C-alpha cells in the first residue's frame, strides 16, 4: 500500500513539475474542441399529429370491402419516397441552393434520414422532421423543420383525398380496355361454338349433354313401354268383356223366359268382368256356367221376338276404340324413341374425334366467359368504390396537433460537449505531462534511485531557495492559476453564449 501511495505521489509531482506543459496542451485541445463544437449546427425537431378515420359507413352499406388501412399503410410507406421528398425540398427554403440533379439526390438522401412517420394507434399518426444546417441561423433552421412537417401534411392530404380520383379514372380506363378485348375473344369463341353445333346438331351441349340426353330418352322409352303394356292389358280386358256381351237384348214382349234369364245372366257376367275379376274366379265361373245353361234353354224356347241393341255392348265398343287408339299412339311414340336412341348411340360411337373437338371448343368458351364475368364484376366493384371515395371521402383527415415551432435544438447537446472537451483537454494535458516526465531520466524518490542503481542511498538533500527565487516561483504560480482560471472562464463564457442563443430562437 505504501508503494502505491509513493507511486501516486511521484506521478502527481511529475505532472505538477511540468504543469505548464499540461496547461498548454489543455488550452490547445480545448480551443480546437470548442471550435469544432461551435461548427456543428444545431438541429431542430418539429412534430405534428394527425387523425385519420378508418371506418367508412357508406362502404359497409354498399358491400364494397374498404381498403382504407391498406391505403394508409401505402401512404405511410411512400410518404418518404424520393418523389415526395423532392417535393418537400422544392417547396421549402432547402431547395434554394440546389442547382443540379446530383445535389438534389444528395439532399433527398439526407432528408430521408431525418423524417419519421409513425403510427401511434389505429387512427393517430405522428410526423417528425429534424433539420439543421450550418449555413442558416438557428431561427431559420427551426422554421425549416416546421415547414418540412407542414409540407408532409399537405402531401398526406393530397395523396389521400385528391390522388384517388385520377387513380380511379386510370383504373376504369384500363378495365374498359380489358373488357373490350375479352368481349372480342368471347364473341369469336361463341361464333365458333354455334357454327360447330350447326354442323353437328347431335353434339350440342357436348359429350356429357349427349349422354344425358340419351339417358333421358331411354328413361322415357321405358316409361312408354310400361304405358304401352298397361294399355294393351286394358284393351285385352275390354275385348274379353265385349266377347261376353250380346249385341242385342230381348224386346218388351220377351220379358221373362229363358231368353230374359240369359240376358240377365250375361249382364251379371259382364259386370263381374268389368270389376276386374279373372276367368278363374269362382263367381265368374259360376256366372259363365249359368250363361251356358241358359243359352241352351233359350235356343229351345219358342217365339221369335225381334231383339233391340244392347246399350252395354255399345258402351264397351266405344271404350275399346279409345283404348285401341291409345295403344297405337304409344306404339308410334315407342318406335320414334327407339329410332332416336339408335341414332344417338350410333353417332356417339361413330365420330369420337368430333365430340372431343367440340368439348375443347366448349371448354375454351367457358374459360373466356368466366374471365369476362369476373372482369365485369371487378369493374363494377371498382366503379362503386371510386364513387364512394370520390363523392364520399373514405378517409376523414384531421390535424390534431399542428407542426410545432422548435424552441430549443435537440442536437447537439452543446453544454455536454463543451464540458466533455474541457474534461478531455485537462486529461490530455495531464497525460502529456506525465508521459514527458517518464522520458526524462530523473527520480522522484530515493526508493526509485536505489531500485535503479542497486546501491543504498544514504540520504537526500532538500531544495533550498533564496528569497528572490521564492518570489519568482510565487509569481509563476499566480500566472499558472490565472491561466487555469482563464480556461475555466472561457468555458463559462461559451456555456453562457449557448444558453442565450437557445433563448433567442423563440
Shared-domain flag, residues 165 and 270 = no
Within a domain: 182: no
- Using alpha carbons only, give the angle 446, 451, 452 rounded to the nearest 5 degrees: 95
pLDDT at 26: 94
Which is nearest to 158 in space by CA: 261, 88, 61, 237? 88
As given in the structure block, the three cell numbers for residue 177 are: 380496355
| Secondary-structure percent of the chain, ordered helix, strand, coil, rounded to 5 | 75, 5, 20
Beta pairing class for 44-53 and 248-249? unpaired
As given in the structure block, the three cell numbers for residue 166 are: 385520377
Which is nearest to 244 in space by CA: 283, 281, 270? 270
Shared-domain flag, residues 458 and 394 = no
User: What residue numbers bound the domain in which 298 lies?
Assistant: 246-309
SS3 303: coil
d(CA 119, CA 106): 27
State residue 50 phi and psi, 5-degree precision.
-125, 150
Instruction: State the residue for C-alpha cell 461548427.
Output: 39
pTM score, whole prediction? 0.49
Instruction: State the residue for C-alpha cell 364512394.
Output: 388
Within a domain: 363: no
* Beta-ladder partners of 397: 52
Which is nearest to 106 in space by CA: 122, 94, 120, 124? 94
As given in the structure block, the three cell numbers for residue 447 are: 526508493
Within a domain: 328: no
Query: How far is residue 110 CA from its own chain's centroid?
Result: 34
Shared-domain flag, residues 166 and 80 = yes
Shared-domain flag, residues 105 and 165 = yes
Q: What is the CATH number of the domain that holds 135?
A: 3.30.1890
Instruction: State the residue for C-alpha cell 482560471.
Output: 485
Is the Cβ–Cβ distance between 203 and 196 less than 8 Å?
Answer: yes
State residue 80 phi and psi, 5-degree precision.
-100, 25
d(CA 125, CA 160): 14
d(CA 37, CA 367): 72
Shared-domain flag, residues 474 and 488 = yes
DSSP secondary structure code for residue 411 in this structure? B
As given in the structure block, the three cell numbers for residue 454 are: 542497486
Contact residues for 160 (Cβ-Cβ < 8 A; gap 6+): 52, 71, 72, 75, 395, 397
Residue after which a domain boundary falls, among 370, 401, 432: 401
User: Based on the number of CB atoms within 10 Å of its own CB, is 110 exposed (0-12), middle (13-18) or buried (19 or more)?
Assistant: middle
**Could you give the number of structural domains in the chain?**
3
Residue after which a domain boundary falls, among 256, 291, 309: 309
Is the Cβ–Cβ distance between 214 and 345 less than 8 Å?
Answer: yes
- The Cα-based distances of 81 to 54, 114, 120, 155, 449 in angstroms read 23, 13, 21, 11, 72
Please give the sequence-ordered ranges of beta strands (E in DSSP) within 12-153, or none if there are none: 44-53, 115-119, 124-131
Residues of the chain with pLDDT under 50: 57-62, 64, 252-255, 304-306, 394
Shared-domain flag, residues 68 and 171 = yes
Shared-domain flag, residues 73 and 130 = yes
DSSP secondary structure code for residue 393 in this structure? -
Shared-domain flag, residues 164 and 67 = yes
End-to-end CA distance of the chain: 58
Within a domain: 188: no
309 membership: H or E segment, kind and range? strand 308-309
As given in the structure block, the three cell numbers for residue 396 are: 376523414
Shared-domain flag, residues 304 and 386 = no
Shared-domain flag, residues 36 and 56 = no
Within a domain: 226: no
Beta pairing class for 124-131 and 115-119? antiparallel
Within a domain: 332: no
Shared-domain flag, residues 108 and 127 = yes
Q: For the segment 212-246, what is each residue's pLDDT rounded down to a tens digit?
A: 777 788 888 888 888 888 888 888 888 877 777 77
Residue-level length of the chain: 506
Instruction: State the residue for C-alpha cell 346438331.
Output: 201
Residue after which a domain boundary falls, among 254, 288, 309: 309
Please give the sequence-ordered ranges of beta strands (E in DSSP) within 367-480, or none if there are none: 396-401
Upstream peptide bond of 412 is cis (omega within 30 degrees of 0): yes
Shared-domain flag, residues 14 and 92 = no
Within a domain: 233: no
Q: For the segment 265-301, what is each residue's pLDDT rounded down to a tens digit?
A: 777 777 777 776 777 877 778 788 877 877 777 666 5
Within a domain: 277: yes
Amino acid at each position: 500500500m505504501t508503494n502505491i501511495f509513493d507511486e501516486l505521489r511521484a506521478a502527481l509531482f511529475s505532472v505538477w513539475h511540468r504543469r505548464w506543459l499540461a496547461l498548454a496542451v489543455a488550452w490547445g485541445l480545448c480551443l480546437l474542441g470548442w471550435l469544432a463544437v461551435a461548427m456543428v449546427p444545431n438541429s431542430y425537431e418539429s412534430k405534428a399529429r394527425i387523425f385519420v378515420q378508418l371506418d367508412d359507413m357508406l362502404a359497409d352499406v354498399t358491400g364494397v370491402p374498404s381498403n382504407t388501412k391498406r391505403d394508409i399503410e401505402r401512404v405511410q410507406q411512400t410518404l418518404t419516397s424520393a418523389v415526395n421528398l423532392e417535393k418537400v425540398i422544392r417547396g421549402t427554403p432547402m431547395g434554394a441552393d440546389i442547382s443540379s440533379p446530383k445535389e438534389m439526390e444528395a439532399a433527398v438522401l439526407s432528408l430521408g434520414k431525418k423524417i419519421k412517420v409513425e403510427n401511434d394507434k389505429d387512427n393517430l399518426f405522428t410526423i417528425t422532421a429534424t433539420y439543421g444546417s450550418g449555413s442558416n441561423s438557428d431561427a431559420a433552421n427551426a422554421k425549416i423543420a416546421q415547414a418540412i412537417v407542414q409540407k408532409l401534411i399537405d402531401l398526406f392530404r393530397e395523396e389521400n383525398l385528391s390522388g384517388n380520383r385520377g387513380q380511379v379514372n386510370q383504373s376504369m380506363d384500363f378495365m374498359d380496355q380489358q373488357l373490350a378485348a375479352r368481349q372480342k375473344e368471347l364473341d369469336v369463341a361463341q361464333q365458333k361454338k354455334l357454327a360447330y353445333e350447326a354442323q353437328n346438331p347431335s353434339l350440342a351441349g357436348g359429350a356429357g349433354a349427349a349422354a344425358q340426353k340419351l339417358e333421358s330418352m331411354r328413361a322415357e322409352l321405358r316409361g312408354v313401354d310400361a304405358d304401352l303394356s298397361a294399355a294393351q292389358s286394358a284393351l285385352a280386358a275390354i275385348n274379353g268383356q265385349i266377347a261376353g256381351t250380346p249385341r242385342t237384348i230381348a224386346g218388351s214382349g220377351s220379358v221373362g223366359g229363358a231368353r230374359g234369364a240369359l240376358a240377365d245372366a250375361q249382364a251379371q257376367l259382364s259386370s263381374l268382368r268389368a270389376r276386374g275379376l279373372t276367368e278363374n274366379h269362382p263367381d265368374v265361373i259360376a256366372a259363365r256356367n249359368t250363361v251356358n245353361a241358359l243359352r241352351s234353354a233359350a235356343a229351345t224356347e219358342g217365339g221369335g221376338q225381334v231383339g233391340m241393341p244392347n246399350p252395354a255392348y255399345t258402351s264397351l265398343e266405344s271404350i275399346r276404340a279409345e283404348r285401341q287408339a291409345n295403344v297405337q299412339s304409344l306404339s308410334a311414340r315407342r318406335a320414334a324413341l327407339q329410332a332416336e336412341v339408335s341414332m344417338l348411340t350410333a353417332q356417339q360411337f361413330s365420330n369420337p374425334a368430333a365430340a372431343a373437338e367440340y368439348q375443347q371448343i366448349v371448354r375454351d368458351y367457358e374459360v373466356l366467359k368466366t374471365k369476362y364475368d369476373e372482369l365485369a364484376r371487378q369493374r363494377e366493384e371498382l366503379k362503386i368504390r371510386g364513387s364512394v371515395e370520390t363523392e364520399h371521402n373514405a378517409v376523414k383527415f384531421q390535424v390534431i396537433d399542428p407542426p410545432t415551432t422548435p424552441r430549443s435544438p435537440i442536437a447537439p447537446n452543446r453544454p455536454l460537449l463543451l464540458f466533455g472537451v474541457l474534461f478531455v483537454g485537462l486529461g490530455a494535458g495531464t497525460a502529456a505531462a506525465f508521459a514527458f516526465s517518464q522520458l526524462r531520466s530523473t527520480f522522484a524518490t530515493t526508493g526509485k534511485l536505489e531500485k535503479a542503481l542497486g546501491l543504498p542511498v544514504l540520504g537526500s538533500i532538500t531544495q533550498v531557495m533564496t528569497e528572490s527565487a521564492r518570489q519568482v516561483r510565487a509569481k509563476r504560480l499566480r500566472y499558472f492559476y490565472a491561466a487555469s482560471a482563464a480556461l475555466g472562464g472561457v468555458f463559462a463564457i461559451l456555456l453562457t453564449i449557448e444558453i442565450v442563443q437557445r433563448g433567442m430562437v423563440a
